[in-house]
Structure 1
Amino acid sequence: MASYSELLKTPGVARIIAAQLTARFPSGMLSLAFLLHIEQTTGSYGSAGLVLAATSIGQAIAGPLTSRLMGRLGMRPVLIVTTILCVTGIVSIGLLPLTVPLYMIVGFITGLATPPVQPAVRTIYPKMVNSRQLTPLFSLDASAQEIIWVVGPVITTLVATQIGTIWAIMLAAVLMVVGGAWFISSPELGRVRIPRSKRKFGVVLSRPAVLLATVVGFLLIGACAAVEAGVVAVFGHGGPEAGLVLAIFSVGSLAGGLLFGHIPIGPWATARRMFIVFAGMALAAFVMDFWWLSATLFIAGIGIAPALAVLFSIVSSSVKFSDTAEAYGWVGTGQLIGAALGSALAGFSIDGYGAQGAFWIAAGFAFVGVLVPALGRRWHPDLRGRDASPIPDTEPVPMQPS
């Protein structure tokens, strides 16, 4: 814990973590708010899952594109435009009486305009701390972001059930405006400039570590999205139980990140952490009870933040600084495609087989998430005794004739 205390004393670190968490806080609200609102409007979890999938696909397409644009146009212009467009889409879903196809179109556009806050801050971090502090910073960030998933679902569930689903969506829109303004105005966005990449778009995905992180992130977040849909289906709209279970799930991730995030990263690191996630989700699928789900999902959560910290570290250590934003964009795209597929499969499974089906979908995603890094460990960077700093960009230095 001393390493985390030292990190927070580094100038600007605590502020930029707080700003980006606030800017991203709606991420912990919108999926659940859209799910509750659209299910209430259409009467179908399958329809709600399709809208969530369309939104996530839009985010997935935007991820590497807007991240790469930050290297060409600058971080602030890209973040300002995308925030305005995204908030407009969120408000439209909350207020306009739409059919399911129109909800899907607006959701897709909203996802396409999602502000690339995560790639921006992951690119800034290596310029704020020394190489020894970078892996603990990724771990602290992965743990701190669980505040989004602890508080967000609780607030969303309480507001949606006690006041109305529209108000839950509007609250998320207001927080996106406030958080986005705080993050965009942060001094670090002006001090750090992302160099323009000299490589063709998408080439960074050919790096084995980036591809591995993208695939594992797809499976991990797909499992989490299925769990979220399953928990909501178990407890419905009648009380706060769904939000509380999801909060406990995230508390497990927060605890795991703080307790185990500093462990050195070897070739088996991702597979071990994903096995914890799989074990908890597989156990959860057996009993649809508040206390059983709370306990088993807490166990599953213990592996999530440590797994994410490993993914961020192996990407950072494997690419040049000019490619980091695009690399994190691709990782984010993998996660969002996972969220889309996990939500959609869980929604149809709930309609066909009940809430329990969503947990078996989640366990399946997590099981493959163990196999992939285990089979691909030869491409997994061994960071024991190494730092996770990006590879420096080098250019020829012109020499004057003597």
Structure 2
Amino acid sequence: MIDPVAAPITTTVLTTVAGAATPQLEPCLRVLWSPMLRDDHAVRVAYSLDAATQELIFVAGPLVVLIATTVADPAAGLVTAGILGLTGSLWFATAAPARRWRGTATVTHWVGPLRSAPLARLLIALLFVGATIGAFTVAITAYAEQLGTPSVASWLIAANALGALAGGLAYTTASAAANHHRRLQLLLCALALGYAPLMIQTSTPGTMLLAILSGLALPPVLACSFTLIAQLAPEGTITEAHAWMITAFGAGNATGSALAGLAADTASSRLALATSVIMALLALLATAPPLVRAIPRRASQQ
């Protein structure tokens, strides 16, 4: 195993290659829900469970790798991650729905689904949503270090994921939205309001409760966004549109982490936590004009 400290360039190159080789299963999975279920309510429930399940993955995945690293060595952690990724990819690729699915012919365009201006604006909003989550992770770690108990950070992040899981499960019972754009705005308001109380920085048990509450709105925001992407993406580009969503969320996550780190280093963890709220408000601002127009969908793609 290469020592990342002794060989940073080699490690960076290999890490980049590993990231580039990671199968884009998320957009492929979300394209399958509609043909598999063929019912709007069932698809909405699937989107919500999809978003909620990610929270389990974000918590359970690192935990499994950490156990492997603790029991054996860091190389065992990497091997475990590789085995999990390969197993999941093969399982998905050989599943009957994935094998039956076929794409539809479409007119190619050099910007793909980004030629839809409302979709591009939704992706900008999702970039800020990703920044909200990235800022929280760094800020809550800085808060734990400020308390002198760095290990508490992992529990606070897990509490946030628990809240997100609960929010995703609860959203499966929500009725159909008459206006998905309006619902997304309300959910983004809830996202900002959920992170705002963390700036109070109460005792650890109090912050744990606030961390749970802060996670509630994320899966509903993502589930509603999945539905909007299906409406806004030009015909034949839905898979690529979902891939852009993941890219936007990931880029936002990295940006939010950097901004919160800068705020924590130059000011305080309180300001770093405020970064999460600011990012959520910027996401809301990006969705201020209507995303879905009252015109036929096909006409809007020409």
TM class by shorter-chain length?
A: 0.7 to 0.9
> Mapping of 1:263-302 within 5 angstroms?
263-265=175-177, 266=179, 267-287=181-201, 289-302=203-216
Q: Does residue 171 of structure 2 align to residue 171 of structure 1? A: no
Q: 2:252 aligns with which of 324, 338, 355?
A: 338
Partner of 2:282: 368
Whole-angstrom CA distance in 2 between matches of 1:162 and 1:202: 47
Q: 2:159 aligns with which of 245, 248, 251?
A: 248
Q: Do the aligned partners of 2:232 and 2:292 also contact (CA within 8 Å) in 1?
A: no
Partner of 1:144: 53
Whole-angstrom CA distance in 2 between matches of 1:285 and 1:163: 39
Per-residue displacement from partner, 1:229-268 (whole Å, max 9, x unpaired)? 2233333697753222112111211211221343333232
Give the gaps of 5 or more residues in structure 1. Answer: 1-90, 383-389, 392-402
Q: Do the aligned partners of 1:217 and 1:334 also contact (CA within 8 Å) in 2?
A: yes
Q: Do the aligned partners of 2:195 and 2:276 also contact (CA within 8 Å) in 1?
A: yes
RMSD, aligned CA:
3.0
Give, as a single letter, the amino acid of the residue that structure 2 aligns with 1:379: L
After superposition, the Cα gap between the structure-2 partners of 1:314 and 1:98, relative to the gap in structure 1 and judged at 3 Å, is farther
> Mapping of 1:314-329 within 5 angstroms?
314-320=228-234, 322-329=236-243
> Mapping of 1:58-69 within 5 angstroms?
none
Partner of 1:220: 129
1:101: Cα distance to partner?
5.1
1:291: Cα distance to partner?
2.0
After superposition, the Cα gap between the structure-2 partners of 1:346 and 1:162, relative to the gap in structure 1 and judged at 3 Å, is farther
Whole-angstrom CA distance in 1 between matches of 2:111 and 2:77: 37
Q: Do the aligned partners of 1:214 and 1:332 also contact (CA within 8 Å) in 2?
A: no
Q: Do the aligned partners of 1:158 and 1:240 also contact (CA within 8 Å) in 2?
A: no
Q: Do the aligned partners of 2:122 and 2:291 also contact (CA within 8 Å) in 1?
A: no
Partner of 2:89: 180
1:124: Cα distance to partner?
1.5
Q: Does residue 261 of structure 2 align to residue 347 of structure 1? A: yes
Whole-angstrom CA distance in 2 between matches of 1:161 and 1:227: 27
Q: 1:122 aligns with which of 22, 27, 30?
A: 30
After superposition, the Cα gap between the structure-2 partners of 1:279 and 1:99, relative to the gap in structure 1 and judged at 3 Å, is farther
After superposition, the Cα gap between the structure-2 partners of 1:260 and 1:316, relative to the gap in structure 1 and judged at 3 Å, is same
Q: Do the aligned partners of 2:112 and 2:237 also contact (CA within 8 Å) in 1?
A: no
Give, as a single letter, the amino acid of the residue that structure 2 aligns with 1:222: A
After superposition, the Cα gap between the structure-2 partners of 1:179 and 1:153, relative to the gap in structure 1 and judged at 3 Å, is same
Give, as a single letter, the amino acid of the residue that structure 1 aligns with 2:213: I
Whole-angstrom CA distance in 2 between matches of 1:381 and 1:251: 36
Q: Do the aligned partners of 2:132 and 2:279 also contact (CA within 8 Å) in 1?
A: yes
Whole-angstrom CA distance in 1 between matches of 2:274 and 2:68: 29
Provide the TM-score with structure 2 as the length reference: 0.83
1:314: Cα distance to partner?
0.7
Give, as a single letter, the amino acid of the residue that structure 2 aligns with 1:204: P
After superposition, the Cα gap between the structure-2 partners of 1:308 and 1:99, relative to the gap in structure 1 and judged at 3 Å, is same
* SS of corresponding position for 1:302: coil
Partner of 1:193: 102
> Mapping of 1:28-67 within 5 angstroms?
none
Whole-angstrom CA distance in 2 between matches of 1:234 and 1:369: 24
1:162: Cα distance to partner?
8.2
Q: Do the aligned partners of 2:126 and 2:248 also contact (CA within 8 Å) in 1?
A: yes
1:284: Cα distance to partner?
0.9
Q: Using the TM superposition, name which of 268-277 and 197-206 deviates more.
A: 197-206
1:312: Cα distance to partner?
0.3
Give, as a single letter, the amino acid of the residue that structure 2 aligns with 1:111: G
* SS of corresponding position for 1:199: coil
Partner of 2:220: 306
1:295: Cα distance to partner?
1.7
Matched positions, count: 290
Give, as a single letter, the amino acid of the residue that structure 1 aligns with 2:160: F
1:224: Cα distance to partner?
0.5
* SS of corresponding position for 1:285: helix
